Structure 1
Amino acid sequence: MTARVKIDEDLPRQIADLASARGYDAATVVGQGWQGASDDELWPRVQNEGRWLITADKGFADLRLHSVGSHAGVILLRAWEESRRAYLELAAIALDRLKLDDLAGAIVVVTHQSVRIRRAPLK
Structure 2
Amino acid sequence: MNIKLDENFGSLRVATLLRLAGHDLATVREQGLISTHDEELIDICRSENRCLVTIDRGFGNRLKYNPSHYPGIIVIRLPSRPIFEDYRTVTETLIGWTGSSRYDW
Structure 2: runs of 5 or more not aligned: none
1:50 positional shift: 0.4
Q: With structure 2 as the length reference, what TM-score do the two structures score?
A: 0.83
> Normalising to structure 1: TM-score of the pair?
0.72
Post-superposition Cα deviations, 1:97-121, rounded to whole Å, max 9, x if no partner, equal: 3337738xxxxxxxxxxxxx8xxxx
Give the counterpart letter for 1:42 in structure 2. Answer: L
1:99 correspondence with 2:99: yes
Aligned twin of 1:41: 40
Higher RCO by CA contacts (8 Å cutoff, separation 6 or greater): 2
Greater fraction of residues in helix: 2
> Shift of residue 42 of structure 1?
1.0
Return 84-93 or 37-46, whichever deviates more. 84-93
Change (3 A) 1:92 1:61: same
Deviation at 1:6, TM superposition (A): 0.3
CA contact (8 A) 2:59 2:65 kept: yes
Between 1:87-96 and 1:28-37, the stretch displaced more is: 87-96
Cα separation, partners in 2 of 1:38 and 1:30, compared to 1, 3 Å: same
Indicate the residue corresponding to 2:29 in structure 1: 30
Closer/same/farther in 2, CA of residues 87 and 47 from structure 1, 3 Å limit:
same
Structure 1: 5+ residue stretches without partners: 104-116, 118-123
Tell me how many residue pairs correspond in the alignment: 102
Note if 1:88 corresponds to 2:92.
no
Q: Give the strand-richer structure, 1 or 2.
A: 1
Superposition RMSD in Å: 2.1
Q: Identity of aligned pairs, percent?
A: 25
Give the secondary-structure state (helix, strand or coil) at the position aligned to 2:45: helix
1:66 maps to: 65
